[in-house]
Amino acid sequence: MEEIDWVARWKRLVKDRSTLASGHADSHYWDRRARSFARSTHARADEFLQVLEPYLGPTKTVIDVGAGTGRHTAPLAERLEWVTAVEPSEGMRSHIPQRDNITIVASTWEDAEVAPADLVICSHVMYGVAEPAPFVEKMQRSARERVLVMMRETDLPHPAAELRRRLVGEAGHRLPRFSDLFMLLVQMGIAPDVVYLRYPIVTRYADMDEAIADCSALFGDGWDERAARDELERLLRRDGDELVFDGGLALSGVAHWRPSRS
């Protein structure tokens, strides 16, 4: 039987997906999504920090690759000596708190020039990364003690995916998953420890216009705003002054390992 080239497979997944919608790798998408993302993830019970716990300490430093709105950067800055948050989207960066021990680097990871740190973390960033091997190698080179990468195993729990299923009949090309990452790491000669996390995913919008703008960016071809609006009226429920999509329980994996010095 033929061996699978997991790097080539990953690249194909990202390329196929980008014909549907390139949201995950597009910093303008994240600029627009930032407010809803901050609102949706602010209260999310996320055990990623518990996986990190054994490696934390007051003299430790971390690089947060694709830090987003800083939901890991902010609590880590309370515990560690220094956090370097690398984030290409201005909208996402604007939510990261200003602190003396946080450096914000306005760049993609591929282009970032940062000094090594004890830990490198990368949470829910790699879905749109077109060249995964150099991306991972750079994380290895930049980490003195540990690299930790989190991705979802379950499908995108986003209203745009559910809308597409309802209006087009299929969800379209999928994103890379945690298991694709795991096999890619093994192919690269990395044997990571693995922890699985399960948590509910809820997406929150200020109003219907914000929901429409967000969904249209991830829906792909065949977008019909009127039909989408009607369907979203049924999909979203009101919670106080917000509109909420309940994405159910997500399963994510965290791969973590001591970087090799080759």
Ligand X SMILES: C[S@@+](CC[C@H](N)C(=O)[O-])C[C@H]1O[C@@H](n2cnc3c(N)ncnc32)[C@H](O)[C@@H]1O
Element (H or E) spanning 147, and its range? strand 143-152
Residue from the set 20, 67, 139, 185 that interacts with ligand X by CB under 6 A: 67
Q: Other CB atoms closer than 10 Å to residue 246's CB: what's the count?
A: 14
127/182 with CB nearer ligand X: 127
Residue from the set 6, 10, 30, 223 that interacts with ligand X by CB under 6 A: 30
| Residue 212 to residue 226: CA distance in whole angstroms | 10
Residue from the set 20, 38, 65, 151 that interacts with ligand X by CB under 6 A: 65
91/220 with CB nearer ligand X: 91
| Residue 100 to residue 121: CA distance in whole angstroms | 20
124/173 with CB nearer ligand X: 124
Residue with the two structure tokens 């890379």: 176
- The CA distances from residue 232 to 29, 154, 212, 226, 237, in Å, are 20, 22, 8, 10, 9
Q: Rule CB under 6 A: is residue 36 a binding residue for ligand X? A: no
| Residue 225 to residue 160: CA distance in whole angstroms | 12
Site for ligand X in 106-165 (CB under 6 A): 108-110, 123-125, 128-129
User: Which position's Cβ is nearest ligand X?
Assistant: 68
What is the binding site for ligand X (CB under 6 A)?
A: 25, 27, 30, 41, 65-68, 71, 86-89, 92, 108-110, 123-125, 128-129
